[in-house]
Amino acid sequence: MQLVELLNRIPVIESHGENNREVSELVFDSRKVSENSLYIALRGTVVDGHSFIASSIEKGAKTIVCEEFPENLDENITYIKVKDSAKTLGHLASNFYGNPSEKLKLIGVTGTNGKTSVSTLLFDVFKNLGYDSALLSTVEIRIGEEIIPATHTTPDVITINKILAKAVEKGCEFAFMEVSSHGIAQNRIEGLTFKIAGFTNLTHDHLDYHKTFDEYLKTKKRFFDGLNENAIAITNVDDKNGNVMLQNTKAVKKSYALKTMADYHGRTLEVDFNGMLLNFNGKEFWTTLTGKFNVYNLLLVFGIASELGFEQDEILQAISILKRVNGRFETFKSDGGIFFIVDYAHTPDALENILDSINDIRTKNERLITVFGCGGDRDHAKRPEMGNIASKKSTLAIITSDNPRTEDPNQIIKEIEAGVEPQNFSKYTSIPDRREAIKMAIKFSEPKDIVLVAGKGHENYQEINGVKHHFDDKEIINELWQLMSK
């Protein structure tokens, strides 16, 4: 692609060198530069890409986009000075791949909990409606039937545009994308045109990265502030931060709720471990998904599909045949009558939601045994909070390891234990080895009891001292149950 086309609609402060240059690819990692690459120098928290301009030129880069020119300019190289390289990268990537987000109806879902579930459920609903779509989520990236392994919550903006361009090429009309706070903060959605932005909720998470809740909230809000007047913003008004998201947006404002008046209103009529009878905007339907958080997830799916012009009866029919999202309230009953639930809940709010959902369903004749932990090298403040929630809302809470990463699992457990209130001291125990913790839960349980294993959900590994070891909660439960029931 010609450089002059790439720079379309991009504000340039100053340029030096030939503008009519051919660009073979966009690169922000100097190690990946090849002949005729355009190298974008990004300022990172640890490394400044401006330090690698010379080595990029040696490897074949002919165009450099940067925030300040090097001292010595090479006459054979084109230098483009911009105010913010990270933001410019998004617009360059969009232009390079033919602005694919403008050719699709791109739907972004953000919030603390429910992003993956809603994005995946939307993909599945639209498949049920007869449409091939693209999905960009934590768990997987899909273009129709093709599955691409996911490596980040929000991929880099070059990868996003590459995937969206492929979706356009394959005839997709819709793309559903999980939008993380990290992705927003790091400008990974810059230059994308969203048709609809959905907000799930905002609770305590990622404060290791954002430092304060206010900064976390402002980062999420940036997504909605960046929407244009042709977009639609749909928010959960039962969450106190729901309306905050809409304060400065140019988008058309829509709402959904269970407790208050909204454009899309839902009610739970019946609920058990097999599913729920729900009422959305006066229409009843059954779903195999269960739990209050799933009512919110499905209501947002219903609202988004409605805003995209589909008939509500048609949407509800597509929702009613949905299967559960991998690792989200996945349930299975052992032949010994014990009910197992595996869920990704790894924040205080998510853990409380799933425990409340289970307690709403159970008759209290069964005991609820919860196995959970907290990830290492992440937000410390949520640990005692989760210890308090689990011990208060379970018959027995077994505190164990999640992904300790580079931290000592015993230290993480101590921080979780600090939140347990004195009246609940007899309701918890700690076993650092996750396999042994699950084993104890099975050993302690009796027919009809409920065992919740929370925190990892779809993940099939445990990260210890920087090494990923294979570990799948569902596999471990099945394996231990078979061994222990012989």
Q: Which residue has the higher pLDDT, 207 or 326?
A: 326
Return d(Cα 431, Cα 280) in angstroms, integer.
43
Q: Which residues contact 316 (CB under 8 A, 6 or more apart)?
A: 280, 283, 285, 302
Specify the pLDDT at position 323.
86
Q: In what order do the strands lie in the sheet with 78-81?
A: 14-16, 78-81, 63-66, 37-40, 25-27
Check the annotation: does 405 bind a ligand. Answer: yes
Check the annotation: does 48 bind a ligand. Answer: no
Return d(Cα 470, Cα 465) in angstroms, integer.
14
Specify the pLDDT at position 486.
67
Specify the pLDDT at position 434.
97
Residue 66's Cα: distance from chain center in Å? Answer: 30
Specify the pLDDT at position 211.
54
The secondary structure element, H or E, covering residue 255 is strand 252-257
Average pLDDT value for residue range 61-68: 97
Check the annotation: does 383 bind a ligand. Answer: no
Return d(Cα 369, Cα 357) in angstroms, integer.
14
Return the top range by mean pLDDT from 188-192, 378-382, 481-485: 188-192
Tokens 């639209």 belong to 126
Average pLDDT value for residue range 310-322: 97
Specify the pLDDT at position 324.
83
Q: Which residues contact 51 (CB under 8 A, 6 or more apart)?
A: none
DSSP string, 263-284: SEEEEEEEEETTEEEEEETTEE
Instruction: Give the side-chain half-sphere CA count within 13 A for 183.
Output: 29
Check the annotation: does 378 bind a ligand. Answer: yes
Q: Which residues contact 337 (CB under 8 A, 6 or more apart)?
A: 447, 448
Average pLDDT value for residue range 63-85: 96
Specify the pLDDT at position 152.
53
Check the annotation: does 116 bind a ligand. Answer: yes
Average pLDDT value for residue range 376-398: 95
pLDDT band at 182 (very low <50, low <70, confident <90, very high): confident
Average pLDDT value for residue range 262-267: 98
CATH 3.40.1390.10 range(s) for the chain read 3-96
Specify the pLDDT at position 466.
83
Lowest average pLDDT, out of 88-102, 194-208, 289-303, goes to 194-208
Check the annotation: does 403 bind a ligand. Answer: yes
CATH 3.40.1190.10 range(s) for the chain read 99-321
Check the annotation: does 117 bind a ligand. Answer: yes
Check the annotation: does 404 bind a ligand. Answer: yes
Specify the pLDDT at position 327.
87
Mutual angle of helices 292-307 and 312-320, in 10-degree steps: 140
436 DSSP assignment: H
pTM: 0.85
Specify the pLDDT at position 62.
97
CATH 3.90.190.20 range(s) for the chain read 330-485
Specify the pLDDT at position 206.
46
What kind of architecture, by CATH, is found in domain 3-96? 3-Layer(aba) Sandwich (3.40)
User: Quick one: 346 exposed, middle or buried, by C-beta within 10 A (0-12, 13-18, 19+)?
Assistant: buried
Average pLDDT value for residue range 140-164: 87
**Residue 269 neighbours by CB distance under 10 Å:** 11
Specify the pLDDT at position 203.
81
CATH annotation of 99-321: 3.40.1190.10
* CA dist 285 → 312, 352, 399 (Å): 11, 26, 38
Pairing of strands 14-16, 105-110: unpaired
Cα end-to-end distance, the chain, whole Å: 65
Contact 258, 265 (CB under 8 A): yes
pLDDT band at 87 (very low <50, low <70, confident <90, very high): very high
Task: Answer whether residue 154 shows pLDDT above 80.
Answer: no
pLDDT band at 123 (very low <50, low <70, confident <90, very high): very high
Specify the pLDDT at position 78.
97
* CA dist 119 → 8, 36, 135 (Å): 31, 37, 7
Torsion of CA 371, 109, 292, 130, to 10 degrees: -110
Pairing of strands 368-372, 450-454: parallel
Residue 366's Cα: distance from chain center in Å? Answer: 33
Specify the pLDDT at position 153.
59
Mean pLDDT score of the chain = 94
Residue in 145, 157, 146, 166 with CA at minimum distance from that of residue 103: 166
Q: Which residues contact 169 (CB under 8 A, 6 or more apart)?
A: none
Check the annotation: does 423 bind a ligand. Answer: no
Check the annotation: does 111 bind a ligand. Answer: yes
Domain 330-485 in CATH 3.40.50.720: no
The predicted-structure confidence for 184-221, as pLDDT tens digits, reads as follows 989 999 999 999 999 999 985 544 454 587 888 989 99
Q: Write out the two tokens for 140.
A: 């997987």
Check the annotation: does 218 bind a ligand. Answer: no
Specify the pLDDT at position 207.
47
234 beta partners: 198, 254
Average pLDDT value for residue range 101-105: 98
Average pLDDT value for residue range 17-21: 91
Task: Answer whether residue 121 shows pLDDT above 90.
Answer: yes
Return d(Cα 417, Cα 386) in angstroms, integer.
9
Return d(Cα 298, Cα 131) in angstroms, integer.
18
Residue in 92, 2, 3, 5 with CA at minimum distance from that of residue 40: 92
Return d(Cα 474, Cα 228) in angstroms, integer.
43
Average pLDDT value for residue range 23-42: 96
Check the annotation: does 43 bind a ligand. Answer: no
Q: Write out the two tokens for 425.
A: 């001291």
Check the annotation: does 37 bind a ligand. Answer: no
Lowest average pLDDT, out of 150-164, 261-275, 374-388, 399-413, goes to 150-164
pLDDT band at 394 (very low <50, low <70, confident <90, very high): very high
Strand, helix or coil for residue 158: helix
Average pLDDT value for residue range 225-251: 96
Check the annotation: does 459 bind a ligand. Answer: yes
Average pLDDT value for residue range 442-461: 94
pLDDT band at 181 (very low <50, low <70, confident <90, very high): confident
Task: Answer whether residue 44 shows pLDDT above 90.
Answer: no
